Structure 1
Amino acid sequence: MLKLDKVGKTYRIGAFGGQELRAVHDVSFQVNPGEVVSLIGESGSGKSTIGKMVLRLLPPSAGAITLDGTPEADYYRHVQGVFQDPFSSYNPIFKADRVFEMVRQGFGLPSQDWREKVEAALRSVRLDPGAVLGKYPHQLSGGQLQRMLIARALLLELKVLVADEIISMLDASTRIDVLNLLGELRERGLGILFITHDLSLGNYVSDRTVVLYKGRMVETGRTDRVFGDPRHPYTRRLLASVPQLHRKWSEEEEQPEPEAECLFHAPGEGWVEPDHFVGCAFGGEQDECPRAAEAVVIPLR
């Protein structure tokens, strides 16, 4: 089980690092074996920063990230990531299967045994080894390259996969293949942290959802609860912004202006039901909270 406990990240900015930017505030959730957790929010909400901290590419400024029962030295073997742009993960002057050779040293297998292991990993992500091995990155599609990266992660004793916007650069037909692959990996017991700004994708693939705003969790819980009964105004605004396939923008009916509602707060904040948490986007901090400062509230459509 991957666990984040009150994790925060602060960057030093400005001339000579004289100022601080708090990108992530007190984020706590866990990813269990055989579970997909979606991390959802707009650009700048802290999603990728959290993913990089989970992958140990960035150190947290506060809190702790642990993988139960895993020695520190083995963390990287059990937690791997796949990122948004598959082409940038490959060196264009080398054949694509060089990504497998980079992890071979830790196995010490003879060449034939290693090739069989690689081919089995490729088949597990629905790739034909003969069609991808020995090819350069430009000879393969984005979907093939992305699945090769997933196969590389599976070669290790993987427990958690961090999937950071892994289908945003793929075409529609390839997206569903990769999403269904993640579902198959979940059924095998793999925990997946699925980072996305696309709510429909998060709803399709995840068991639990964490909604972020400005680096804070504003709502989290079972995906059917968060999407089916959103309690936080920000979550409701996000859901209302998703385009509908059966409607055109010109067909949208003009809605009456609702009573003004604060974007950052929700009635009855806290655990509104089992496994469904709603919080303040500013954590109740009086020096930041617009309600405390009597700021103008934002109408909720």
Structure 2
Amino acid sequence: MKPDQEVLISGKNITKVFGYGKNKNTAVDQVNFNFHRGEIISIVGESGSGKTTLAKMVMGLLKETSGDIEYKGKSRKLKSHRDRKAYWQDIQAIFQDPFSSFNLFHKVEKLLNDCIELQGLKLSKEERFEKMKEACTFVNLKFEELYNKYPFELSGGQMQRLMIARIFLLHPKVLLADEPTSMVDACSRSTILDMLLKLREENNMTIIFITHDVGLAYYVSDTLYIMEKGKIVEQGSADSVLMNPQHPYTQQLISDVPKLHEAWDLG
């Protein structure tokens, strides 16, 4: 599936500053972006590059110090609870640590049922059960075995799959995935990526990966944004950025991945 030309989320001169005076830290510095409907984007950079801070601003979890984020061509409004709820119906996230994303005192059934509540669907108990069962089946989990358990009773891999089951239920237009496979083994990593790509195909969902993994970014992405010290230093199609990198930082990132370096002979 190719991304549509419609720009779903855009950022103009987005800046985030923490602290004041001598302690001031500009985590994101005058960043611009256009994310299209159905597009898979990877924001790539090392730890401290500003990529997670940028993701939190896109998600609406952090307020930008300056600049403007537009959604569907209009300046985003997140002042009221109603505004935020409407925005989060469309935009969801999967984070690196799945255990921090769930209320550990709520059982799996409630965690999934809350997704149905967020959509405002009026369903019978049986219909809710079927929807939750379908979502678990999509991620190769058995709802009957999990619904009465708490998150801390599940493995890291099960938790990551449960997060994707939530996305299956919510049908967001945009998914922010911050290092979503860093805590699972290689086999689970491939499975989770395949599940996310399948959701994109079925729902024409925009996926924004936040990652330091150049190989993953190349494998899944239509478009790459390379971040260094809070700035976007290079952007373009995955092929153009990684096969013909222009910025020294991008060249360094690729040289640190031997297989990519050797395969493309980037010298």
**TM-score > 0.5 by shorter chain:** yes
- Which residues of 2 match residues 27-46 of structure 1 at below 5 A? 27-46=31-50
Q: Deviations over 1:68-101 (max 9, x none)?
A: 0688522111001110011222344442333223
Cα distance in 2 for residues equivalent to 1:196 and 1:131: 32
Find the partner of 1:87 among 94, 99, 118. Answer: 99
The letter of the residue matching 2:241 is: V
The letter of the residue matching 1:31 is: F
Any conservation in 1 of the 2:108–2:151 contact (CA below 8 Å)?
A: yes
The letter of the residue matching 1:44 is: G
Cα distance in 2 for residues equivalent to 1:185 and 1:157: 9
Find the partner of 2:63 among 35, 59, 62. Answer: 59
Any conservation in 1 of the 2:164–2:196 contact (CA below 8 Å)?
A: no
Counterpart of 1:129? 143
Q: Secondary structure at the match of 1:97?
A: helix
After TM superposition, the structure 1 stretch with the greater mean CA deviation from structure 2, 95-104 or 225-234, is 95-104
Counterpart of 1:9? 16
Q: Kindly indicate whether structure 1 or structure 2 has the higher relative contact order, using CA contacts under 8 Å at least 6 residues apart.
A: 2
Which 5+ residue runs of structure 2 have no aligned equivalent?
1-7, 78-82
Q: Does 1:200 align with 2:204?
A: no
Shift of 1:243: 4.0
1:77/1:69 CA distance change after superposition, 3 Å: farther
Q: Secondary structure at the match of 1:105?
A: helix
Counterpart of 1:75? 87
1:103/1:184 CA distance change after superposition, 3 Å: closer
Identity %: 41
Shift of 1:166: 0.9
Counterpart of 2:193? 179
Any conservation in 2 of the 1:90–1:96 contact (CA below 8 Å)?
A: no
Which 5+ residue runs of structure 1 have no aligned equivalent?
248-300
> What is the Cα-based RMSD across aligned positions, in Å?
2.4
Cα distance in 2 for residues equivalent to 1:3 and 1:157: 21
Shift of 1:34: 1.8
Find the partner of 1:152 among 162, 166, 170. Answer: 166
Q: Secondary structure at the match of 1:169?
A: coil
Shift of 1:19: 4.2
Counterpart of 1:100? 112
The letter of the residue matching 1:10 is: V
The letter of the residue matching 1:36 is: I
Find the partner of 2:205 among 190, 201, 206. Answer: 190
Cα distance in 1 for residues equivalent to 2:199 and 2:156: 20
Shift of 1:33: 2.0
Any conservation in 2 of the 1:67–1:75 contact (CA below 8 Å)?
A: no
After TM superposition, the structure 1 stretch with the greater mean CA deviation from structure 2, 30-39 or 44-53, is 30-39
TM superposition outliers: structure 1 runs of 4+ over 6 Å: none
1:169/1:59 CA distance change after superposition, 3 Å: same
Q: Does 1:24 align with 2:47?
A: no
Cα distance in 2 for residues equivalent to 1:203 and 1:243: 14
Cα distance in 2 for residues equivalent to 1:31 and 1:206: 12
